[in-house]
A and B are shown apart, each in its own frame.
Chain A
């Protein structure tokens, strides 16, 4: 068992620090639902049988509602600035599938937020066909109206995930028994990417990461994005919570040290500590020259993660 755990960690650290895979490739990764456990069982069974036929090996779905607001210390803005700073919200149901051959498919279905932000413009109606569903498969995105009419489709080149798929398929033999896979229901983030933060940090340092700051509770680690994807020059900083063994947030800086985006996470209560909120902050300079922070807060519901190998 001890040897088994060591093996798991090895796989994990290679994946994290060298960026070998891009998708779901750890034995520690949970493969079940988070917020709505009861709803999953029947779907899980059907997926299992389809996987045996060589279909999906992984499915992730969730409902995401994002509201966007603009924050600034300034009190006066030009009319154009205010037009840009229009608050907005939108809600979608997202389903992602990874197939055995590395192909990925994604469906984005538009939902109506409970309290929609809709400014009453006095202009004439927009009679154009509105997007209801987007289906991405075979490197093509197709857009559909609510009546199911195909509005348009475009090439959408996505990275090949066959290596990920292969690794996932290998996991079954190298890490988990099917029984263990089925039992492994856990949180999306907590207690996963590390069971031992000290080891994690130690290994991160050995792989080129730099500890920026550390106190009793939190630690920030910096790494060049080039270590994950060759050619990238950005710097990534992550904030880790040592007490709860999870990430609190991430930041990306460009090579000039300018902060590009700041992403913060929110989790559920201790008894159900799943990822439930993503807050993104991006600094923007408006046409007037005023600086503003664009803040998007995403509410994640009904997240279901099904590994079907």
Chain B
């Protein structure tokens, strides 16, 4: 009798559990190019524990492009979920290229939808311009330019190359930091993915031309400046620290500037000897190339990922006309003269307007405009501030808190009846 009672209690106790499992919806977490199942571990673990959802998180080979990766995801979901693979309550969450993969599945499985709702996170919905910049050689030429400029100062100062700025950071490492980034190397290494992810690629157009009624949410992030170095920091530290490289590169910049100022100082101090002075002025000019490049590097990188616009900018600068003229032209003519005796000898502010490159928000890799899905209600777009392309998948170490988690919570807590609403576990 006593035994029967215990069984009865156990059965009663396990009812809510069975009931709960019956209510859990399937959430398929899909990573992007070159990543693996570990990418979504942080949020999948949290929300599987907290919300009424079951996780499906696997690694897929992504190097053969979107269509190939889509087939792998479909096959995997069918295998794991069986008859539940087309449950209308299923949600797919895709980061980066993973967002395009789940949108492609939505298109391919039309009429027999695998996912009742889709969430893209920092996805290149309208292409990743960095892929185009790799294809047309711009990334390589920018990297070469950076290496030339960052080595000019040390080379002229007779410092051994590669010049160790601090720790493991040499001028060689610094100039290759951006080209060595995982997503850039992945794109270089996987030509089919590179082609698919290019702006205006056949695959991107195919996905965007498909009109779907599947509920969709788009999460996008904007990284703080300097977004490129934050992005590199996150990649190199595995999301542990998005400022480590920023500090190191600031130090590198300050070192180049210190050498510049030192040489200008020596040139001025030696101006009694114009030959010696010339040497120091030239050295200063070579160091200036390095710190100018570091100062401009965010705009340069942003031009590669196409998150810049060319705008007119009016500014003022000091000008002094009473300077010696010394020009030699290609045709052999020369212009060489002292300032005229009637020179005004005054510094004047000159105002001019020129075209400059203005940076717009991005996650360090993808501009805002490609991360945000068009044609969905404004309320279905969520912004994560201060996170880069990598960091958005795990903001647990962010100084500003785990904003990605907050955004997901807001999605799960959407109003009653909303497709994405996913209750907390009791």
Interface, chain A (partner B; CB < 8 A)? 12, 15-17, 19, 22-24, 26, 28-29, 60, 62, 64-65, 67-69, 78-80, 82-84, 86-89, 92, 94, 96, 106, 108, 115, 117, 119-131, 134, 136, 141, 143, 151-152, 154, 156-158, 188-189, 192-193, 213, 217-218, 220, 223, 225, 228-229, 231-232, 234, 236-241, 243-244, 247-252, 260-269, 275-280, 282, 284, 286-288, 294, 296-300, 303, 305
Answer whether residue B179 sits at the interface, using C-beta atoms and an 8 A cutoff: no
Residue in contact with A86 in the complex, picked from B253, B271, B299, CB distance below 8 Å: B299
In the bound complex, residues from chain A placing their C-beta under 8 Å from that of B306 are 79
Q: Is the CB of A124 within 8 A of B266?
A: no
- Once bound together, how far apart are the Cα atoms of A12 and B308, in whole Å? 54
* Proximity bits, B262-279, A CB within 8 Å = 1, else 0: 101111111111111111
Stretch at the interface among B11-19, B84-92, B350-358, B416-424: B350-358
Answer whether residue B141 sits at the interface, using C-beta atoms and an 8 A cutoff: yes
Q: Is the CB of B345 within 8 A of A269?
A: yes
Residue of B nearest to A300 (CB): B268
Sample of 8 further A-B pairs with CB below 8 A, known A78-B303, A108-B261, A252-B278 = A16-B273, A23-B266, A124-B224, A236-B278, A236-B279, A238-B278, A267-B322, A299-B347
Answer whether residue B385 sits at the interface, using C-beta atoms and an 8 A cutoff: yes
Q: Is the CB of A15 within 8 A of B273?
A: yes
Residue of A nearest to B165 (CB): A154
Residue in contact with A115 in the complex, picked from B253, B272, B315, CB distance below 8 Å: B315
Q: Is the CB of B274 within 8 A of A238?
A: yes
Distance in Å: Cβ of A67 to nearest Cβ of chain B? 4
* Proximity bits, B329-372, A CB within 8 Å = 1, else 0: 00000001111000101010100001111111110000000000
Distance in Å: Cβ of B221 to nearest Cβ of chain A? 10
Provide a sorted-by-A list of 10 A–B residue pairs whose CB atoms are within 8 angstroms.
A16-B275, A23-B270, A24-B270, A86-B295, A117-B315, A123-B359, A124-B385, A136-B262, A236-B278, A264-B326
Q: Is the CB of B299 within 8 A of A249?
A: no
Q: Is the CB of B275 within 8 A of A265?
A: no
Q: Is the CB of A228 within 8 A of B279?
A: yes
- Once bound together, how far apart are the Cα atoms of A53 and B181, in whole Å? 55
Residue in contact with B254 in the complex, picked from A78, A143, A297, CB distance below 8 Å: A143
Residue in contact with A248 in the complex, picked from B159, B273, B324, B362, CB distance below 8 Å: B324
Answer whether residue B247 sits at the interface, using C-beta atoms and an 8 A cutoff: yes
Answer whether residue B227 sits at the interface, using C-beta atoms and an 8 A cutoff: yes
Q: A154-B165, A236-B275 are in contact. Are A134 and B261 (CB under 8 A)?
A: yes
In the bound complex, residues from chain B placing their C-beta under 8 Å from that of A279 are 320, 323
Q: Is the CB of B264 within 8 A of A298?
A: yes
- Once bound together, how far apart are the Cα atoms of A213 and B337, in whole Å? 13
- Once bound together, how far apart are the Cα atoms of A303 and B270, in whole Å? 14
**Which of A128, A143, A238, A305 counts the most chain B CB atoms within 10 A?**
A128
Q: Is the CB of A125 within 8 A of B250?
A: no
Q: A80-B303, A128-B246, A299-B320 are in contact. Are A261 and B338 (CB under 8 A)?
A: no
Q: Is the CB of A250 within 8 A of B308?
A: no
**Which of B243, B356, B385, B386 counts the most chain A CB atoms within 10 A?**
B356
User: For chains A and B in complex, what number of residue pairs have CB atoms within 8 angstroms?
Assistant: 301
- Once bound together, how far apart are the Cα atoms of A89 and B319, in whole Å? 12
In the bound complex, residues from chain A placing their C-beta under 8 Å from that of B145 are 84, 286-287
Q: Is the CB of A29 within 8 A of B254?
A: no
Answer whether residue B173 sits at the interface, using C-beta atoms and an 8 A cutoff: no
Interface, chain B (partner A; CB < 8 A)? 138, 141-142, 144-145, 158-159, 165-166, 222-227, 243, 246-247, 250-251, 253-255, 257-259, 261-262, 264-279, 281-282, 284-286, 288-289, 292-293, 295-296, 298-300, 302-304, 306, 308, 310, 313, 315-320, 322-326, 336-339, 343, 345, 347, 349, 354-362, 385-386
**Which of B226, B261, B269, B274 counts the most chain A CB atoms within 10 A?**
B274
Distance in Å: Cβ of B201 to nearest Cβ of chain A? 20
Ranked nearest first, the 3 interchain pairs of A and B with the lowest CB-CB distance are A250-B278, A248-B324, A124-B224
Residue in contact with B355 in the complex, picked from A15, A82, A276, CB distance below 8 Å: A82
Distance in Å: Cβ of A254 to nearest Cβ of chain B? 10
In the bound complex, residues from chain B placing their C-beta under 8 Å from that of A249 are 324, 326
Q: Is the CB of A122 within 8 A of B361?
A: yes
Residue in contact with B308 in the complex, picked from A83, A158, A303, CB distance below 8 Å: A83
Q: Is the CB of A225 within 8 A of B279?
A: yes
In the bound complex, residues from chain A placing their C-beta under 8 Å from that of B166 are 152, 154
Residue of B nearest to A24 (CB): B269
- Once bound together, how far apart are the Cα atoms of A193 and B276, in whole Å? 12
In the bound complex, residues from chain B placing their C-beta under 8 Å from that of A96 are 265, 269
In the bound complex, residues from chain A placing their C-beta under 8 Å from that of B385 are 124
In the bound complex, residues from chain A placing their C-beta under 8 Å from that of B264 are 64, 94, 278, 298
In the bound complex, residues from chain A placing their C-beta under 8 Å from that of B323 are 264-266, 277, 279
Q: Is the CB of B282 within 8 A of A260?
A: yes
Q: Is the CB of B272 within 8 A of A124?
A: no
Distance in Å: Cβ of A51 to nearest Cβ of chain B? 17
- Once bound together, how far apart are the Cα atoms of A122 and B265, in whole Å? 36
Q: A108-B258, A266-B324 are in contact. Are A87 and B278 (CB under 8 A)?
A: no
Residue in contact with B292 in the complex, picked from A15, A68, A157, CB distance below 8 Å: A68
- Once bound together, how far apart are the Cα atoms of A256 and B251, in whole Å? 34
- Once bound together, how far apart are the Cα atoms of A217 and B324, in whole Å? 12
